[in-house]
Amino acid sequence: MYSDFKTISTYYDTLYVNDSEYAPEAAKVKELLTKHGVPSQADLLILACGTGGHIPYFKDDYHVSGLDLSEDMLALAIKKFPDLRFYLGNLIDFELEADFDAMICLYGSIGFVQTVDNLRASMKRIASHLRPDGLVLLTPWSTVEDFQELIVVDSADNPDFKIARMENVRLKEPNIVEVTFHHLLGENNEVTYHRQSMEIGLFSRQEYLSAMTDAGLKVVEEYTGAKVRGGAYIGKRIVS
């Protein structure tokens, strides 16, 4: 499951965190949480929080905590938000001495669990840390039904730091996508090159739904609108 984010963490925010994309997405996520009963100032855990890029859009509305597998990414999140609580752990077997009213897993990060068995294990861990009527909202990386191979092209042109990005997204195996990053980094009048490949699990819509249901989560909505990239599966922990 683990991918080396040591290098990428140093420029992750510059390349990936974009207010024009994150702000409207977060607004829709908050709307969906409210719709399904999560109150203001509830305890919210951001799963796979990375460097904390989504935190500014939620921290005024909820008591936010974050969990991530990468020590390098978490170190940056802690530096930016020293008053918040962060946990080092992965989505498959995290065990915390805390429960939450809601959890969110955005940006398709759930795909890093890679296998259906790990997806099911992750849903069980999530359910076990939700309070009664607690909600989880997760965005799929993609689905078997929707996946398309592509090449991503992007750049960032800041006065002191510039990045040219190409990423090759291809189906490596029936349920595994390989993403190969090619990043040119310009800083201090020098250009360096970083290449890295990551394997991401590609699950079907039914595999997501079954994993949630079998973990004791009632699927209360499948959001398919454009305001949340990739859509979202929303599950509630129902205690009978």
Q: What is the pLDDT of residues 11-21, one digit of tens each?
A: 999 989 989 99
Does 187 share its domain with 212? no
DSSP the chain: -----TTGGGTHHHHH--HHHHHHHHHHHHHHHHHTTPPTT-EEEEET-TTTTTGGGTTTTSEEEEEES-HHHHHHHHHH-TTSEEEE--TTT---S--EEEEEE-TTGGGGG-SHHHHHHHHHHHHHTEEEEEEEEE--S-BTTT---EEEEEEEE-SSEEEEEEEEEEEEETTEEEEEEEEEEEETTEEEEEEEEEEEE-B-HHHHHHHHHHTTEEEEEEE-STTSTT-EEEEEE---
Same domain flag for 53 and 110: yes
Count up the domains in the chain and report the number.
Answer: 2
158 in the same domain as 194:
yes
pTM for the model stands at: 0.95
**Each residue's pLDDT tens digit, 118-135:** 999 999 999 999 999 999
Per-residue confidence band for 5, with pLDDT thresholds at 50, 70 and 90: confident
Residues 6+ apart with CB under 8 A from 215: 120, 123, 124, 126, 127, 235
Euclidean distance between CA atoms 102 and 23, whole angstroms: 19
Assigned domain for 53 exists: yes
Tell me the per-residue pLDDT of 91-105, one tens digit each, with 9 for 90 and over: 999 999 999 999 999
Same domain, 64 and 119: yes
* Mean pLDDT of the chain, nearest integer: 95
Residue 2 lies in a domain: no
CATH code of the domain containing 118 = 3.40.50.150
Pair (170, 66) in one structural domain: no
The whole domain housing 113 covers 8-143+203-237
CATH number at residue 183: 2.20.130.10
Torsion (CA) 106, 56, 74, 228 in degrees, nearest 10 = 10
Average pLDDT over residues 109-124: 97
In a domain, 3, yes or no: no
For residue 167, give every residue at least 6 positions away whose Cβ sits within 8 Å of its Cβ, in sequence order, or none.
Answer: 151, 152, 179, 180, 181, 182
The answer to whether residues 137 and 81 belong to one domain is yes
109 and 215 belong to one structural domain: yes
Is residue 16 one of the residues assigned to a domain? yes
**Predicted pLDDT at 1:** 40
Pairing mode, if any, of strands 43-47 and 161-173? unpaired
Q: Are residues 33 and 121 in the same domain?
A: yes
Pair (154, 227) in one structural domain: no
**Does 125 share its domain with 31?**
yes
189 and 222, same domain (yes or no):
no
Same domain, 55 and 123: yes
Q: Report residue 6's pLDDT band, with 50, 70 and 90 as the boundaries.
A: confident
